[in-house]
Chains A and B, each alone.
Chain A
Protein backbone atom coordinates (compact mmCIF):
# COMPACT_ATOMS: atom_id res chain seq x y z
CA UNK A 1 0.00 0.00 0.00
CA UNK A 2 1.41 3.35 -0.97
CA UNK A 3 0.53 6.86 -2.07
CA UNK A 4 0.36 7.75 -5.75
CA UNK A 5 0.84 11.26 -7.07
CA UNK A 6 -1.85 11.40 -9.77
CA UNK A 7 -0.65 13.89 -12.44
CA UNK A 8 -4.16 15.39 -12.48
CA UNK A 9 -5.33 15.22 -8.84
CA UNK A 10 -2.19 15.08 -6.72
CA UNK A 11 -1.31 12.61 -3.99
CA UNK A 12 -3.96 9.99 -3.23
CA UNK A 13 -4.16 6.59 -1.59
CA UNK A 14 -3.22 3.67 -3.85
CA UNK A 15 -6.57 1.98 -3.20
CA UNK A 16 -8.20 4.71 -5.34
CA UNK A 17 -6.25 3.48 -8.36
CA UNK A 18 -6.35 0.42 -10.54
CA UNK A 19 -3.24 -1.06 -12.11
CA UNK A 20 -3.13 -1.48 -15.87
CA UNK A 21 0.02 -3.55 -16.21
CA UNK A 22 3.17 -3.00 -18.23
CA UNK A 23 3.29 0.28 -20.18
CA UNK A 24 4.48 1.07 -23.70
CA UNK A 25 3.23 -2.15 -25.27
CA UNK A 26 2.21 -0.84 -28.68
CA UNK A 27 -0.85 -2.31 -30.37
CA UNK A 28 0.18 -3.89 -33.68
CA UNK A 29 -0.33 -1.49 -36.59
CA UNK A 30 -1.32 -4.24 -39.01
CA UNK A 31 -3.03 -6.94 -36.95
CA UNK A 32 -3.97 -9.05 -39.96
CA UNK A 33 -0.32 -9.63 -40.81
CA UNK A 34 0.71 -10.88 -37.37
CA UNK A 35 1.82 -14.47 -36.83
CA UNK A 36 0.50 -16.47 -33.85
CA UNK A 37 3.86 -15.99 -32.12
CA UNK A 38 3.62 -12.24 -32.49
CA UNK A 39 0.06 -12.24 -31.15
CA UNK A 40 1.14 -14.29 -28.14
CA UNK A 41 3.97 -11.85 -27.53
CA UNK A 42 1.62 -8.86 -27.72
CA UNK A 43 -1.25 -10.36 -25.71
CA UNK A 44 0.38 -12.50 -23.05
CA UNK A 45 4.15 -12.23 -22.68
CA UNK A 46 5.26 -9.76 -20.02
CA UNK A 47 8.62 -8.63 -18.67
CA UNK A 48 7.28 -8.91 -15.11
CA UNK A 49 10.37 -7.11 -13.91
CA UNK A 50 11.73 -7.31 -10.38
CA UNK A 51 13.09 -3.78 -10.19
CA UNK A 52 12.25 -0.58 -12.03
CA UNK A 53 9.17 -1.09 -14.18
CA UNK A 54 7.19 1.23 -16.47
CA UNK A 55 3.48 0.69 -16.01
CA UNK A 56 0.01 2.09 -16.61
CA UNK A 57 -2.35 3.14 -13.85
CA UNK A 58 -5.89 4.47 -13.84
CA UNK A 59 -7.29 6.81 -11.18
CA UNK A 60 -10.45 4.67 -11.08
CA UNK A 61 -12.03 6.24 -8.00
CA UNK A 62 -10.93 9.78 -8.87
CA UNK A 63 -10.52 11.55 -12.18
CA UNK A 64 -10.68 8.22 -14.07
CA UNK A 65 -7.73 9.25 -16.23
CA UNK A 66 -4.95 6.93 -17.33
CA UNK A 67 -1.30 7.79 -16.76
CA UNK A 68 2.10 6.14 -16.62
CA UNK A 69 4.30 5.43 -13.66
CA UNK A 70 7.87 4.29 -13.01
CA UNK A 71 7.92 2.06 -9.94
CA UNK A 72 10.43 -0.29 -8.38
CA UNK A 73 8.50 -3.54 -7.95
CA UNK A 74 11.02 -4.86 -5.43
CA UNK A 75 10.13 -2.20 -2.85
CA UNK A 76 7.08 -0.36 -4.31
CA UNK A 77 9.00 2.92 -4.41
CA UNK A 78 7.64 5.26 -7.10
CA UNK A 79 10.32 7.06 -9.12
CA UNK A 80 8.18 9.10 -11.49
CA UNK A 81 4.66 9.70 -12.74
CA UNK A 82 3.96 11.03 -16.24
CA UNK A 83 1.00 11.55 -18.56
CA UNK A 84 0.06 9.24 -21.42
CA UNK A 85 1.88 10.31 -24.58
CA UNK A 86 4.73 11.91 -22.66
CA UNK A 87 8.23 10.52 -22.76
CA UNK A 88 9.32 8.68 -19.60
CA UNK A 89 11.32 11.12 -17.44
CA UNK A 90 13.89 8.39 -16.69
CA UNK A 91 15.25 5.58 -18.80
Chain B
Protein backbone atom coordinates (compact mmCIF):
# COMPACT_ATOMS: atom_id res chain seq x y z
CA UNK B 1 0.00 0.00 0.00
CA UNK B 2 1.23 3.43 -0.87
CA UNK B 3 1.83 6.14 1.66
CA UNK B 4 -0.72 8.90 1.30
CA UNK B 5 0.67 12.28 0.32
CA UNK B 6 -0.24 14.87 2.94
CA UNK B 7 1.17 17.75 4.94
CA UNK B 8 2.30 15.18 7.53
CA UNK B 9 4.20 13.03 5.02
CA UNK B 10 5.81 16.23 3.71
CA UNK B 11 6.99 17.21 7.21
CA UNK B 12 8.13 13.67 8.00
CA UNK B 13 10.17 13.46 4.79
CA UNK B 14 11.64 16.91 5.36
CA UNK B 15 13.50 15.47 8.37
CA UNK B 16 15.29 13.00 6.10
CA UNK B 17 16.05 15.69 3.48
CA UNK B 18 13.42 14.21 1.14
CA UNK B 19 15.70 11.29 0.36
CA UNK B 20 13.37 8.51 1.48
CA UNK B 21 10.21 9.16 -0.50
CA UNK B 22 8.60 5.94 -1.63
CA UNK B 23 8.69 5.19 -5.37
CA UNK B 24 5.50 6.48 -6.98
CA UNK B 25 5.16 3.36 -9.15
CA UNK B 26 7.04 0.08 -9.58
CA UNK B 27 9.10 -0.87 -12.58
CA UNK B 28 7.94 -4.47 -13.19
CA UNK B 29 8.86 -6.97 -15.87
CA UNK B 30 5.82 -8.09 -17.86
CA UNK B 31 3.88 -11.15 -16.68
CA UNK B 32 3.02 -13.90 -19.15
CA UNK B 33 -0.63 -12.97 -19.29
CA UNK B 34 -2.97 -10.11 -18.39
CA UNK B 35 -6.75 -9.68 -18.50
CA UNK B 36 -6.23 -6.53 -20.54
CA UNK B 37 -3.31 -4.56 -21.94
CA UNK B 38 -3.29 -0.84 -22.70
CA UNK B 39 -0.86 0.19 -25.44
CA UNK B 40 0.41 3.69 -24.72
CA UNK B 41 1.42 5.17 -21.39
CA UNK B 42 0.26 8.72 -21.89
CA UNK B 43 -2.41 10.44 -19.85
CA UNK B 44 -5.29 8.74 -21.68
CA UNK B 45 -3.75 5.26 -21.43
CA UNK B 46 -2.86 5.59 -17.75
CA UNK B 47 -6.30 7.04 -16.97
CA UNK B 48 -7.88 4.08 -18.79
CA UNK B 49 -5.88 1.65 -16.65
CA UNK B 50 -6.73 3.60 -13.50
CA UNK B 51 -10.50 3.47 -14.14
CA UNK B 52 -10.38 -0.17 -15.30
CA UNK B 53 -8.90 -1.02 -11.91
CA UNK B 54 -10.95 1.39 -9.83
CA UNK B 55 -14.41 1.14 -11.37
CA UNK B 56 -14.36 -2.22 -13.11
CA UNK B 57 -12.11 -4.12 -10.69
CA UNK B 58 -9.81 -5.27 -13.47
CA UNK B 59 -6.48 -5.15 -11.65
CA UNK B 60 -4.60 -7.85 -13.57
CA UNK B 61 -3.80 -5.44 -16.37
CA UNK B 62 -0.77 -3.69 -17.82
CA UNK B 63 0.13 -0.47 -19.58
CA UNK B 64 2.94 -0.88 -22.10
CA UNK B 65 4.82 2.20 -23.21
CA UNK B 66 7.60 2.32 -25.78
CA UNK B 67 9.35 5.29 -24.16
CA UNK B 68 8.64 6.76 -20.76
CA UNK B 69 5.19 7.54 -19.40
CA UNK B 70 3.87 10.98 -20.27
CA UNK B 71 6.72 11.52 -22.74
CA UNK B 72 4.52 11.96 -25.78
CA UNK B 73 1.75 14.45 -26.27
CA UNK B 74 0.87 14.41 -22.55
CA UNK B 75 4.15 16.20 -21.87
CA UNK B 76 4.03 18.36 -25.00
CA UNK B 77 0.64 20.07 -25.01
CA UNK B 78 -0.33 23.53 -23.81
CA UNK B 79 -2.45 22.09 -20.94
CA UNK B 80 -5.68 23.90 -21.81
CA UNK B 81 -8.87 22.40 -20.38
CA UNK B 82 -12.35 23.46 -21.50
CA UNK B 83 -15.62 21.91 -22.60
CA UNK B 84 -17.23 24.58 -24.80
CA UNK B 85 -17.77 22.37 -27.85
CA UNK B 86 -20.69 22.84 -30.23
CA UNK B 87 -22.53 19.53 -30.62
CA UNK B 88 -24.42 17.64 -27.92
CA UNK B 89 -22.21 14.57 -28.23
CA UNK B 90 -19.03 16.61 -27.72
CA UNK B 91 -20.56 18.65 -24.92
CA UNK B 92 -21.37 15.42 -23.09
CA UNK B 93 -17.89 14.02 -23.64
CA UNK B 94 -15.80 17.07 -22.76
CA UNK B 95 -17.93 18.24 -19.86
CA UNK B 96 -17.81 14.74 -18.39
CA UNK B 97 -14.03 15.18 -18.38
CA UNK B 98 -14.20 18.68 -16.92
CA UNK B 99 -16.35 17.46 -14.04
CA UNK B 100 -13.75 14.78 -13.22
CA UNK B 101 -10.96 17.40 -13.45
CA UNK B 102 -12.69 19.43 -10.73
CA UNK B 103 -12.04 16.69 -8.15
CA UNK B 104 -9.08 14.95 -9.73
CA UNK B 105 -6.38 16.05 -7.28
CA UNK B 106 -8.46 14.66 -4.39
CA UNK B 107 -9.35 11.47 -6.28
CA UNK B 108 -5.70 10.74 -7.11
CA UNK B 109 -4.19 12.14 -3.89
CA UNK B 110 -1.87 13.91 -6.29
CA UNK B 111 -1.83 17.63 -7.00
CA UNK B 112 -2.53 18.06 -10.70
CA UNK B 113 -2.57 21.85 -10.18
CA UNK B 114 -5.94 22.21 -11.89
CA UNK B 115 -6.56 25.93 -12.14
CA UNK B 116 -9.96 27.20 -13.30
CA UNK B 117 -8.62 30.49 -14.60
CA UNK B 118 -11.08 30.68 -17.49
CA UNK B 119 -10.60 30.29 -21.21
CA UNK B 120 -11.51 33.13 -23.55
CA UNK B 121 -12.03 32.59 -27.29
CA UNK B 122 -11.72 35.77 -29.35
CA UNK B 123 -13.75 36.75 -32.41
CA UNK B 124 -11.95 38.69 -35.13
CA UNK B 125 -14.55 38.93 -37.90
CA UNK B 126 -18.30 38.89 -38.34
CA UNK B 127 -18.43 35.15 -39.00
CA UNK B 128 -16.43 34.51 -35.81
CA UNK B 129 -18.96 36.59 -33.88
CA UNK B 130 -21.87 34.59 -35.29
CA UNK B 131 -20.17 31.23 -34.77
CA UNK B 132 -19.04 31.98 -31.23
CA UNK B 133 -22.44 33.37 -30.21
CA UNK B 134 -24.09 30.27 -31.62
CA UNK B 135 -21.63 28.10 -29.69
CA UNK B 136 -22.33 30.06 -26.49
CA UNK B 137 -26.06 29.34 -26.85
CA UNK B 138 -25.43 25.68 -27.68
CA UNK B 139 -23.17 25.36 -24.62
CA UNK B 140 -25.77 26.87 -22.31
CA UNK B 141 -28.49 24.56 -23.64
CA UNK B 142 -26.16 21.71 -22.70
CA UNK B 143 -25.58 23.07 -19.21
CA UNK B 144 -22.06 24.27 -19.93
CA UNK B 145 -21.16 27.71 -18.65
CA UNK B 146 -20.45 30.20 -21.41
CA UNK B 147 -20.82 33.95 -21.77
CA UNK B 148 -20.38 36.34 -24.66
CA UNK B 149 -18.15 39.35 -23.96
CA UNK B 150 -18.09 42.49 -26.08
CA UNK B 151 -14.79 44.20 -26.90
CA UNK B 152 -14.79 46.35 -23.73
CA UNK B 153 -15.51 43.31 -21.57
CA UNK B 154 -12.69 41.40 -23.26
CA UNK B 155 -10.32 44.28 -22.49
CA UNK B 156 -11.51 44.37 -18.89
CA UNK B 157 -11.03 40.62 -18.44
CA UNK B 158 -7.57 40.60 -20.03
CA UNK B 159 -6.15 44.16 -20.14
CA UNK B 160 -3.00 43.36 -22.15
CA UNK B 161 -4.97 42.50 -25.30
CA UNK B 162 -4.73 45.11 -28.03
CA UNK B 163 -8.38 45.94 -28.74
CA UNK B 164 -7.63 48.83 -31.06
CA UNK B 165 -9.94 48.80 -34.11
CA UNK B 166 -6.92 49.58 -36.29
CA UNK B 167 -5.21 46.20 -36.13
CA UNK B 168 -5.39 43.78 -39.04
CA UNK B 169 -7.83 41.45 -37.26
CA UNK B 170 -9.54 43.59 -34.60
CA UNK B 171 -11.08 41.99 -31.51
CA UNK B 172 -14.85 42.11 -31.98
CA UNK B 173 -15.67 40.23 -28.79
CA UNK B 174 -15.18 36.81 -27.35
CA UNK B 175 -16.61 33.96 -25.34
CA UNK B 176 -15.59 33.03 -21.84
CA UNK B 177 -15.87 29.71 -20.05
CA UNK B 178 -14.98 30.44 -16.44
CA UNK B 179 -14.84 26.78 -15.34
CA UNK B 180 -12.15 26.13 -17.94
CA UNK B 181 -8.45 26.50 -17.25
CA UNK B 182 -5.18 24.61 -17.12
CA UNK B 183 -3.50 21.77 -15.22
CA UNK B 184 0.03 20.46 -14.76
CA UNK B 185 0.36 17.94 -17.60
CA UNK B 186 3.14 15.75 -16.17
CA UNK B 187 1.33 15.50 -12.85
CA UNK B 188 -1.69 14.05 -14.63
CA UNK B 189 0.38 11.19 -16.06
CA UNK B 190 2.25 10.65 -12.79
CA UNK B 191 -0.88 10.86 -10.66
CA UNK B 192 -2.77 8.31 -12.75
CA UNK B 193 0.32 6.06 -12.92
CA UNK B 194 0.73 6.14 -9.15
CA UNK B 195 -2.98 5.51 -8.59
CA UNK B 196 -3.14 2.63 -11.07
CA UNK B 197 0.08 1.08 -9.73
CA UNK B 198 -1.32 1.16 -6.17
CA UNK B 199 -4.26 -0.97 -7.33
CA UNK B 200 -1.96 -3.55 -8.93
CA UNK B 201 -1.63 -2.33 -12.51
CA UNK B 202 1.77 -3.07 -14.11
CA UNK B 203 3.26 -0.03 -15.85
CA UNK B 204 5.89 -1.32 -18.24
CA UNK B 205 8.10 1.34 -19.80
CA UNK B 206 10.67 0.96 -22.59
CA UNK B 207 8.49 -1.78 -24.06
CA UNK B 208 7.57 -1.25 -27.70
CA UNK B 209 4.75 -3.20 -29.31
CA UNK B 210 5.98 -4.96 -32.46
CA UNK B 211 2.92 -6.95 -33.42
CA UNK B 212 -0.56 -8.09 -32.43
CA UNK B 213 -1.28 -11.80 -32.46
CA UNK B 214 -4.69 -12.89 -33.62
CA UNK B 215 -6.51 -16.17 -33.95
CA UNK B 216 -9.00 -15.53 -36.71
CA UNK B 217 -10.86 -12.46 -35.60
CA UNK B 218 -9.93 -12.62 -31.92
CA UNK B 219 -6.85 -11.05 -30.31
CA UNK B 220 -4.48 -13.35 -28.41
CA UNK B 221 -1.70 -11.07 -27.29
CA UNK B 222 1.03 -8.65 -28.23
CA UNK B 223 4.60 -9.09 -29.42
CA UNK B 224 6.86 -6.60 -27.71
CA UNK B 225 10.54 -5.82 -27.33
CA UNK B 226 10.21 -7.59 -23.95
CA UNK B 227 8.66 -10.71 -25.48
CA UNK B 228 5.16 -12.04 -26.09
CA UNK B 229 2.40 -11.09 -23.63
CA UNK B 230 -0.90 -12.97 -23.73
CA UNK B 231 -4.19 -11.12 -23.34
CA UNK B 232 -7.80 -11.17 -24.50
CA UNK B 233 -8.35 -7.42 -24.53
CA UNK B 234 -6.14 -4.73 -26.03
CA UNK B 235 -6.86 -1.03 -25.71
CA UNK B 236 -4.81 1.07 -28.09
CA UNK B 237 -4.17 4.63 -26.93
CA UNK B 238 -1.17 5.46 -29.09
CA UNK B 239 -2.11 8.99 -30.26
CA UNK B 240 -0.02 9.92 -33.31
CA UNK B 241 1.11 6.32 -33.73
CA UNK B 242 -2.41 4.79 -33.75
CA UNK B 243 -2.20 4.06 -37.48
CA UNK B 244 1.10 2.24 -36.93
CA UNK B 245 -0.57 -0.11 -34.43
CA UNK B 246 -3.67 -0.45 -36.63
CA UNK B 247 -1.43 -1.46 -39.54
CA UNK B 248 -0.34 -4.51 -37.50
CA UNK B 249 -3.86 -5.94 -37.88
CA UNK B 250 -4.40 -4.58 -41.41
CA UNK B 251 -6.86 -2.02 -40.12
CA UNK B 252 -7.05 1.40 -41.74
CA UNK B 253 -8.15 4.34 -39.62
CA UNK B 254 -9.49 7.71 -40.78
CA UNK B 255 -6.45 9.45 -39.32
CA UNK B 256 -3.60 11.63 -40.46
CA UNK B 257 -0.66 12.23 -38.13
CA UNK B 258 0.84 15.69 -38.18
CA UNK B 259 3.29 17.68 -36.07
CA UNK B 260 1.72 20.24 -33.75
CA UNK B 261 4.03 22.78 -32.16
CA UNK B 262 4.17 24.73 -28.96
CA UNK B 263 6.71 27.06 -27.46
CA UNK B 264 7.45 28.80 -24.19
CA UNK B 265 9.11 32.11 -23.42
CA UNK B 266 11.54 33.08 -20.72
CA UNK B 267 9.76 33.30 -17.35
CA UNK B 268 8.37 36.68 -16.33
CA UNK B 269 6.19 38.01 -13.51
CA UNK B 270 2.43 37.34 -13.72
CA UNK B 271 1.01 39.20 -16.69
CA UNK B 272 -1.84 37.05 -18.02
CA UNK B 273 -4.05 35.22 -15.52
CA UNK B 274 -6.29 33.42 -17.99
CA UNK B 275 -6.07 31.50 -21.26
CA UNK B 276 -6.80 33.41 -24.48
CA UNK B 277 -7.35 31.64 -27.79
CA UNK B 278 -7.88 33.11 -31.24
CA UNK B 279 -8.87 30.67 -33.93
CA UNK B 280 -8.93 33.16 -36.78
CA UNK B 281 -5.37 34.40 -36.36
CA UNK B 282 -4.22 31.18 -34.80
CA UNK B 283 -2.66 32.31 -31.58
CA UNK B 284 -3.25 31.11 -28.08
CA UNK B 285 -1.43 31.98 -24.93
CA UNK B 286 -1.44 31.39 -21.20
CA UNK B 287 1.17 31.71 -18.47
CA UNK B 288 2.58 28.81 -16.51
CA UNK B 289 3.09 28.93 -12.76
CA UNK B 290 6.82 29.27 -13.45
CA UNK B 291 6.05 32.47 -15.37
CA UNK B 292 6.68 31.26 -18.91
CA UNK B 293 4.25 32.28 -21.62
CA UNK B 294 2.89 29.05 -23.07
CA UNK B 295 2.07 29.53 -26.74
CA UNK B 296 0.39 27.06 -29.04
CA UNK B 297 1.13 27.11 -32.75
CA UNK B 298 -0.60 25.24 -35.56
CA UNK B 299 -0.13 21.91 -37.25
CA UNK B 300 1.93 21.32 -40.34
CA UNK B 301 -0.31 20.53 -43.30
CA UNK B 302 1.46 17.29 -44.21
CA UNK B 303 1.75 13.86 -42.59
CA UNK B 304 4.93 13.58 -40.57
CA UNK B 305 6.12 11.65 -37.54
CA UNK B 306 9.04 13.97 -36.83
CA UNK B 307 8.41 15.61 -33.49
CA UNK B 308 9.51 19.08 -34.59
CA UNK B 309 7.40 20.90 -37.21
CA UNK B 310 8.09 23.79 -39.56
CA UNK B 311 9.56 27.14 -38.66
CA UNK B 312 7.05 29.14 -40.72
CA UNK B 313 4.20 27.79 -38.57
CA UNK B 314 5.81 29.20 -35.43
CA UNK B 315 6.57 32.46 -37.20
CA UNK B 316 2.92 32.88 -38.22
CA UNK B 317 1.73 32.29 -34.67
CA UNK B 318 4.21 34.75 -33.17
CA UNK B 319 3.20 37.43 -35.67
CA UNK B 320 -0.40 37.10 -34.50
CA UNK B 321 0.67 37.07 -30.83
CA UNK B 322 2.63 40.29 -31.31
CA UNK B 323 -0.25 42.08 -32.97
CA UNK B 324 -2.65 41.05 -30.21
CA UNK B 325 -0.18 41.57 -27.34
CA UNK B 326 2.32 44.32 -28.28
CA UNK B 327 3.60 44.13 -24.68
CA UNK B 328 5.33 40.81 -25.58
CA UNK B 329 7.42 42.33 -28.37
CA UNK B 330 10.73 42.00 -26.53
CA UNK B 331 10.07 38.59 -24.95
CA UNK B 332 12.56 35.87 -25.80
CA UNK B 333 11.34 32.40 -26.65
CA UNK B 334 13.19 29.70 -24.75
CA UNK B 335 12.04 26.36 -26.10
CA UNK B 336 10.02 25.04 -29.03
CA UNK B 337 8.91 21.47 -29.63
CA UNK B 338 6.44 19.35 -31.56
CA UNK B 339 4.16 16.42 -30.87
CA UNK B 340 2.48 14.11 -33.36
CA UNK B 341 -1.28 14.50 -33.32
CA UNK B 342 -3.70 12.06 -34.96
CA UNK B 343 -6.41 14.05 -36.68
CA UNK B 344 -9.83 12.73 -37.67
CA UNK B 345 -11.66 14.23 -40.66
CA UNK B 346 -14.35 15.62 -38.32
CA UNK B 347 -11.92 16.81 -35.60
CA UNK B 348 -13.59 14.52 -33.06
CA UNK B 349 -12.07 11.47 -31.38
CA UNK B 350 -12.70 7.75 -31.80
CA UNK B 351 -13.39 5.75 -28.62
CA UNK B 352 -14.57 2.51 -30.06
CA UNK B 353 -14.66 -1.24 -30.48
CA UNK B 354 -13.36 -2.58 -33.78
CA UNK B 355 -14.45 -5.47 -35.97
CA UNK B 356 -11.68 -7.51 -34.28
CA UNK B 357 -12.88 -9.04 -31.01
CA UNK B 358 -10.94 -7.73 -28.03
CA UNK B 359 -9.34 -4.83 -29.89
CA UNK B 360 -10.36 -1.32 -28.90
CA UNK B 361 -9.13 2.04 -30.14
CA UNK B 362 -9.03 5.40 -28.38
CA UNK B 363 -7.53 7.83 -30.89
CA UNK B 364 -8.15 10.79 -33.16
CA UNK B 365 -7.97 13.37 -30.39
CA UNK B 366 -6.02 15.53 -32.77
CA UNK B 367 -4.95 18.84 -31.36
CA UNK B 368 -7.10 18.82 -28.23
CA UNK B 369 -6.79 15.60 -26.29
CA UNK B 370 -5.29 16.77 -23.02
CA UNK B 371 -8.49 18.41 -21.76
CA UNK B 372 -10.36 15.13 -22.14
CA UNK B 373 -7.83 12.90 -20.37
CA UNK B 374 -9.93 11.87 -17.32
CA UNK B 375 -13.19 11.50 -19.26
CA UNK B 376 -11.51 9.65 -22.10
CA UNK B 377 -9.92 7.18 -19.67
CA UNK B 378 -13.18 6.66 -17.81
CA UNK B 379 -15.24 6.04 -20.96
CA UNK B 380 -12.61 3.89 -22.66
CA UNK B 381 -12.32 1.76 -19.51
CA UNK B 382 -16.11 1.31 -19.59
CA UNK B 383 -15.96 0.33 -23.28
CA UNK B 384 -13.19 -2.24 -22.68
CA UNK B 385 -14.68 -3.72 -19.50
CA UNK B 386 -18.22 -4.12 -20.86
CA UNK B 387 -17.36 -4.63 -24.53
CA UNK B 388 -19.95 -1.91 -25.11
CA UNK B 389 -19.56 1.87 -25.30
CA UNK B 390 -20.86 4.13 -22.54
CA UNK B 391 -23.70 6.36 -23.75
CA UNK B 392 -21.34 9.34 -23.67
CA UNK B 393 -18.95 7.81 -26.21
CA UNK B 394 -21.47 5.85 -28.30
CA UNK B 395 -21.43 8.61 -30.94
CA UNK B 396 -17.64 8.46 -31.15
CA UNK B 397 -17.52 5.01 -32.68
CA UNK B 398 -15.45 4.18 -35.71
CA UNK B 399 -18.54 3.32 -37.79
CA UNK B 400 -19.58 6.97 -37.98
CA UNK B 401 -17.28 7.28 -40.99
CA UNK B 402 -19.40 4.65 -42.74
CA UNK B 403 -22.82 5.85 -41.56
CA UNK B 404 -21.99 9.52 -42.09
CA UNK B 405 -22.96 10.55 -38.52
CA UNK B 406 -19.89 12.75 -38.15
CA UNK B 407 -19.41 15.04 -35.16
CA UNK B 408 -17.96 18.08 -36.90
CA UNK B 409 -16.03 20.09 -34.35
CA UNK B 410 -13.63 21.96 -36.60
CA UNK B 411 -15.09 25.22 -35.34
CA UNK B 412 -14.54 24.40 -31.67
CA UNK B 413 -11.21 22.62 -32.09
CA UNK B 414 -9.32 25.94 -31.88
CA UNK B 415 -6.36 24.70 -33.91
CA UNK B 416 -7.09 25.00 -37.60
CA UNK B 417 -6.47 21.76 -39.45
Chain A interface residues (CB < 8 Å from chain B): 1, 14-15, 18-19, 21-22, 36-37, 39-41, 43-50, 53, 55, 57, 73-76
User: What are 25 inter-chain pairs, A to B, with CB distance below 8 A?
Assistant: A14-B310, A15-B312, A19-B302, A36-B402, A40-B254, A43-B345, A45-B252, A45-B254, A46-B243, A46-B254, A46-B255, A47-B247, A47-B252, A48-B257, A48-B342, A49-B247, A49-B303, A50-B243, A50-B244, A50-B257, A50-B305, A73-B304, A73-B305, A74-B305, A76-B304
Q: Which residues of B contact A43 (CB under 8 A)?
A: 345, 401
Q: Is the CB of B401 within 8 A of A53?
A: no
Q: Which of B296-340 contact A (CB under 8 A)?
A: 301-306, 309-312
Q: Which of B225-264 contact A (CB under 8 A)?
A: 241, 243-244, 247, 252-257
Q: Is the CB of A48 within 8 A of B306?
A: no
Looking at A22, A48, A55, A76, the one whose CB has the most chain B CB atoms below 10 A away is: A48
Kindly state the separation between the CA atoms of A41 and B311 in the bound complex, as whole angstroms. 34
Kindly state the separation between the CA atoms of A49 and B244 in the bound complex, as whole angstroms. 7
If A1-B312, A46-B256, A48-B257 touch, does A37 touch B304 (CB 8 Å cutoff)? no
Q: Is the CB of A18 within 8 A of B301?
A: yes
| B403 at the A interface (CB under 8 A) | yes
Interface size bucket, B side? 20 to 34
**Interface membership of chain B positions 372-404, coded 1 if the CB is closer than 8 angstroms to chain A and 0 otherwise:** 000000000000000000000000000001111
Kindly state the separation between the CA atoms of A15 and B247 in the bound complex, as whole angstroms. 30
Q: Which residues of A contact B302 (CB under 8 A)?
A: 19, 55, 57
Q: Which residues of A contact B306 (CB under 8 A)?
A: 73-76
Looking at B252, B302, B309, B404, the one whose CB has the most chain A CB atoms below 10 A away is: B302
Identify A44's interface contact among B247, B254, B257, B309, CB under 8 A: B254
A28, chain B: closest CB distance, angstroms: 15
B241, chain A: closest CB distance, angstroms: 7
If A15-B312, A21-B256, A50-B244 touch, does A44 touch B303 (CB 8 Å cutoff)? no
A25, chain B: closest CB distance, angstroms: 11
Kindly state the separation between the CA atoms of A75 and B308 in the bound complex, as whole angstroms. 10
In the complex, what residue of chain B is closest to A37 when comparing beta carbons? B402
Kindly state the separation between the CA atoms of A81 and B402 in the bound complex, as whole angstroms. 33
Q: Is the CB of B310 within 8 A of A44?
A: no
If A1-B310, A44-B345, A45-B401 touch, does A73 touch B253 (CB 8 Å cutoff)? no
Kindly state the separation between the CA atoms of A40 and B204 in the bound complex, as whole angstroms. 36
Q: A48-B342, A73-B306 are in contact. List 12 more A-B contacts (CB 8 A).
A: A1-B311, A14-B310, A19-B303, A36-B402, A46-B243, A46-B253, A46-B255, A48-B256, A50-B243, A55-B302, A73-B257, A75-B306
Q: Which residues of A contact B244 (CB under 8 A)?
A: 50
Q: Is the CB of A48 within 8 A of B243?
A: yes
Q: Is the CB of A47 within 8 A of B402?
A: no
Identify A73's interface contact among B303, B309, B345, B404, CB under 8 A: B303
Q: Which residues of A contact B256 (CB under 8 A)?
A: 21, 46, 48
Q: Which residues of A contact B247 (CB under 8 A)?
A: 47, 49
In the complex, what residue of chain A is closest to B251 when comparing beta carbons? A45
Q: Is the CB of B243 within 8 A of A47?
A: yes
Q: Which residues of B contact A21 (CB under 8 A)?
A: 256, 303
Q: Which residues of B contact A18 (CB under 8 A)?
A: 301
Q: Is the CB of B301 within 8 A of A55?
A: no
Q: Which residues of B contact A46 (CB under 8 A)?
A: 243, 252-256
